[in-house]
Chains A and B, each alone.
Chain A
């Protein structure tokens, strides 16, 4: 490919982001990472006035720079570079799109010559520790507008829950390194990182799916969900320790604790045709009721009657229908209750019954 064709190809590649942006008569050097001084000089000519840099992205194939006018700090512009091609810009940027306007560096003092080095260093550290290859260097800060510098964020190769974050200063030196294990961030020792001793723990193998295909059943959940719950009990092979049960016409969603699972609970979905699948599992949170109940402690057998009574009790609604019924222990983690949710064309309502089927509340929301 000729050099003319190569910069044109790069420019066309960058078009979606730079569409509508004017083209300057200043060309970027052919080697963006190897000629930082040349790139800086070209950008300086293209921009033509003193600016702060608030963000940038750069790799061998191209990059962009977001700058703030020193003379009018409400003016932000974006410039695009491709190897050997004309610099595009300015593309006006909205003030509100700048996440951290206080994080900025004078363009005159920004050494673009360090970018090739930090990108190569970040690639080596990531590869040596089992993380994916960072594709470009990004100048910016974290979500709290801290740690303004050249940043890299990459995911673990064998564990995509893990992430590696590297931040380099404007002098090209590594300032911070930390990893995310899927739950929390942890500082990494630079020496361990350099010695390739900071790989993420391998991802735990996914549990075999717990699923039973449907067929042969035709449960009518609103009339009586107990046969479906009995089916679930047979499927998991232990008595049901229920946390909550959400019933609608086509599906029952059951949160339950397993034997010795503590605060950890499992959500099973039951289909009207008898299908069962483990949908998700999680830990209950503060103020959640962790005291399980057995099916016999709640008025499941009378659900059809409760649904019919709820539609009468919510009388001011016009032609109400039931959207779901929720069964759980009541507020305070006491006895069980059933909340029947209703809607009509204008409003939503709820009717609450206690464990003996007595109506406690009926309100239009």
Chain B
């Protein structure tokens, strides 16, 4: 009787450790193409953010009004934008110049390699990717890189959270695991 009940409980409880979730890397090329179609060349990235479920938000400067930033979104495969970005405090032209990333610097195809490199660096081989950002900023750590275009890859496994920062050539700038 008890064994039977135990088996039922085991079935309800499921496996001991969840498999890492595959990261649903969105069709970024489609998103960037749409942004280029709307904004023209060059595509001037303000920031890119991919959530753990693959929803993506791309903020870009308008070529016709470089003082303004618009967003494009890719959610569940549906593409929307351009729409105005409303900042809490609007960046100045100088701040936008300082923040901008030329899309020609960005190798979207490199992302899977960055994910593998991040897992290796943090010694988290089974980690799930929980988010990715691309933004020009200062890197973390003792030795910092100022105003670099930085890919930041966030990971988690059963015991740790962490992130690794890369430059646009895939070089690791900083990493943290807790």
Contacts and interface: CB of A to CB of B under 8 A. Distances in A.
Interface in B60-105: 68, 84-90
Interface in A86-142: 86, 92-96
Interface stretch (B12-20, B43-51, B139-147, B167-175): B12-20
A365 B88 CA distance: 7
Interface in A57-99: 74-76, 86, 92-96
Interface residues of A, number: 27
Interface size class of B (residues with CB under 8 A): 20 to 34
Contacts of B88: 348, 365
Q: What is the predominant secondary structure among interface residues of chain B facing chain A? A: loop
Contacts of A21: 13, 16
Contacts of B86: 343, 345-348
A342 B162 CA distance: 40
24 contacts: A4-B2, A11-B9, A19-B14, A20-B14, A20-B17, A20-B18, A21-B16, A23-B10, A74-B159, A75-B159, A93-B159, A94-B158, A94-B161, A94-B178, A343-B86, A346-B68, A346-B87, A346-B90, A347-B87, A347-B90, A348-B89, A348-B90, A365-B88, A365-B89
Contacts of B1: 4
A352 interface: no
B109 interface: no
Cβ-closest 10 pairs across A and B = A92-B158, A22-B16, A96-B178, A347-B90, A345-B84, A346-B84, A365-B89, A92-B159, A20-B14, A8-B5
Interface of A: 4, 8, 11-12, 15, 18-23, 74-76, 86, 92-96, 343, 345-348, 364-365
Nearest to B16: A22
Contact of B9 (A8, A75, A96): A8
Nearest to B18: A20
